[in-house]
Amino acid sequence: MDGDGDGTVSGRSGPTRRRDAGATRAALLEAAAALFAEQGYERTTVREVAARAGVNQALLFRYFGSKEELFAEVLAAQNDELLAGPAETLLPRVLADLLRDTDPAWVRRALQAVLRSVGHAGAAELLRERLGAAYGSRLASLSSEPDAELRADLVIAWLFGIGLLRSVVGKRPLADADPDQVTALVLRTARHLLGDPPAAGSGD
Amino acid sequence: MDGDGDGTVSGRSGPTRRRDAGATRAALLEAAAALFAEQGYERTTVREVAARAGVNQALLFRYFGSKEELFAEVLAAQNDELLAGPAETLLPRVLADLLRDTDPAWVRRALQAVLRSVGHAGAAELLRERLGAAYGSRLASLSSEPDAELRADLVIAWLFGIGLLRSVVGKRPLADADPDQVTALVLRTARHLLGDPPAAGSGD
DNA sequence: CCCGTTGGTAAGCGCGTGCTTACATCGCGC
DNA sequence: GCGCGATGTAAGCACGCGCTTACCAACGGG
């Protein structure tokens, strides 16, 4: 920052931020997750992500290789979070995530990102092969019907539809509804669809 | 097609197709509807639409003004189709559209187009202000619960979620499920959620 | 037949996108 | 202190996008 350091000769003035690769990388990841959730993959540009992270866009490519790989890492970083917990608490927890009105931690916004990015193969794959598969097997374990897996899929479809209609589309009255009221209706109806749970201790 | 008509001087060889503005316009509309349903708005380029319609892309702008207006016309052209019929047949009919496996007439593919284009304001508006509002009032009329409108919204969310998970995401077993089986499950469960219909003839 | 309007074409424009390049400087280990 | 690799910067590239322009010829009416 000495007097002769204004670098106007070539416009290459070098670093003005303290160097911290880890923080830079985390800032990009968080900015990307937020923007993908708000706008979806297609409408989010790498310049926007870098600006929100407060870094130069070239760093996005240095740390993540491409926009595509950044998206993959955003999804992967949130994958475990979305799959945590046992089957019995799955529905209330996913509903809580979907219905939460205050700004959640970015790690909880994956569903919004993928719902807004369904045209992207990576998002569709996450919905189908990871979330869908994991949610499906857990929800099916709550039903003793012969078509338990199909019923589980219909519940998953409902969850995603709720997220879509409330947060992405903004349809009232669902968009403004009291989360507890929605949750109560959904849990009761899902219970009806799934039927009785398998007997836990009836085996001889 | 005479020997001296190879037009290599300026590359402006003039028309090679018989002129029919109406057919051209319809071809563009149909091609756009199909591509928007397959790929969503963002990933569909005007060159693709024109190529599928078998016309020069400049005609897209001549007849529709912009890609944006083309999309609006595609949605508008399918709006009435999606809203036809009374409340009692709404669910079976929308489900039939969503679950139909053979290539439907393009006019019936609006839901897929909008589900794949939810990031686009026009699609979101259609889902919210037109389809959502119309479906909502009709479904709410099938319920005598005090929160009938919210329950109707939850049914709409389900419909959209089913379309999303089956056609856009391709999640099995829902993607491969027998339409009649799905319809039976959904109708029964929706009936449970909506509760008893209003009394039709109890007034004196 | 002539002329004006209409519909079709090829080529090109301006801009924004994802991505790259070259340079500067920091920070750490020796 | 020095050297080198790591990290940050500004500028720029190649390409594709939506859209425009200029031209040609078909078509229908007078």
- Estimate in Å the CA B196 to C1' D16 gap, whole number: 56
At B173 the pLDDT is: 94
Question: Which protein residue's Cα is closest to nucleotide D27 at C1'?
Answer: B19
Query: Is residue A104 very low, low, confident or very high in pLDDT (cuts 50, 70, 90)?
Result: low
**Which tokens go with B100?**
């139909």
The percent of residues above 90 in pLDDT, for chain A, comes to 50
Q: Is pLDDT of B8 > 70? A: no
DSSP letter string over B72-91? HHHHHHHHHHHH-S-HHHHH
What was the ipTM of the complex prediction?
Answer: 0.84
Structural element, H or E, at residue A14: none
Rounded CA gap, A172 and B185, in Å?
A: 26
Is the CB atom of residue B39 positioned under 7 angstroms from any atom of strand C? no
At A3 the pLDDT is: 31
Q: Is pLDDT of B3 > 50? A: no
Give residue A190's identity as a one-letter amino acid code: A
Q: Is pLDDT of B43 > 50? A: yes
Average pLDDT, chain A: 84
Average pLDDT over residues B94-106: 74
At B129 the pLDDT is: 86
DSSP letter string over A116-175? HTTTSHHHHHIIIIIIHHHHHHHHHTT--STTHHHHHHHHHHHHHHHHIIIIIS--TTGG
At B200 the pLDDT is: 62
Question: pLDDT tens-digit profile of A17-73?
Answer: 888 999 999 999 999 999 998 889 999 999 999 999 999 999 999 999 999 999 999
* Cis amide prior to A173 (ω within 30 degrees): yes
Query: Is residue A7 very low, low, confident or very high in pLDDT (cuts 50, 70, 90)?
Result: very low
Q: Is pLDDT of B4 > 80? A: no
Give residue A128's identity as a one-letter amino acid code: R
Q: Nearest nucleotide by C1' from B43 CA? A: D17
DSSP letter string over B159-197? HHHHHIIIIIS--TTGGGS-HHHHHHHHHHHHHHHH-SP
Average pLDDT over residues B112-137: 85
Average pLDDT over residues A95-112: 72
Alpha helix ranges (H) inside chain A: 21-39, 46-53, 58-64, 67-83, 90-99, 110-116, 121-125, 132-140, 148-163, 179-194
Average pLDDT, chain B: 84
The percent of residues above 70 in pLDDT, for chain B, comes to 87
Q: Is pLDDT of B18 > 90? A: no
Q: Nearest nucleotide by C1' from B19 CA? A: C7
At B6 the pLDDT is: 34
Of B127, B153, B157, B120, nearest to B139 (Cα)?
B153
Q: How far is CA B139 from CA A55, B183, B189, in A?
A: 50, 16, 14
At A127 the pLDDT is: 85
Q: Is pLDDT of B144 > 70? A: yes
User: Do the beta carbons of residue B33 and residue B109 sit within 8 Å?
Assistant: yes
| Å between A185 CA and nearest CA of chain B | 8
User: Do the beta carbons of residue A194 and residue B189 sit within 8 Å?
Assistant: no
User: Do the beta carbons of residue B52 and residue B34 sit within 8 Å?
Assistant: yes
At A107 the pLDDT is: 56
Q: How far is CA B162 from CA A90, A92, A151, A194, B39, in A?
A: 19, 20, 11, 16, 18
At B57 the pLDDT is: 95
Query: Is residue A108 very low, low, confident or very high in pLDDT (cuts 50, 70, 90)?
Result: low
Q: Is pLDDT of B1 > 50? A: no
Of A42, A143, A160, nearest to A98 (Cα)?
A160
* Contact criterion met (CB < 8 Å) for A166 and B150: no
Average pLDDT over residues B33-54: 93
User: Do the beta carbons of residue A128 and residue B169 sit within 8 Å?
Assistant: yes
Chain B residue with Cα closest to A162:
B157
Question: pLDDT tens-digit profile of A150-174?
Answer: 999 999 999 999 999 998 889 999 9
Query: Is residue A101 very low, low, confident or very high in pLDDT (cuts 50, 70, 90)?
Result: low
At B103 the pLDDT is: 57
| Å between B170 CA and nearest CA of chain A | 7
Is the CB atom of residue B46 positioned under 7 angstroms from any atom of strand C? no
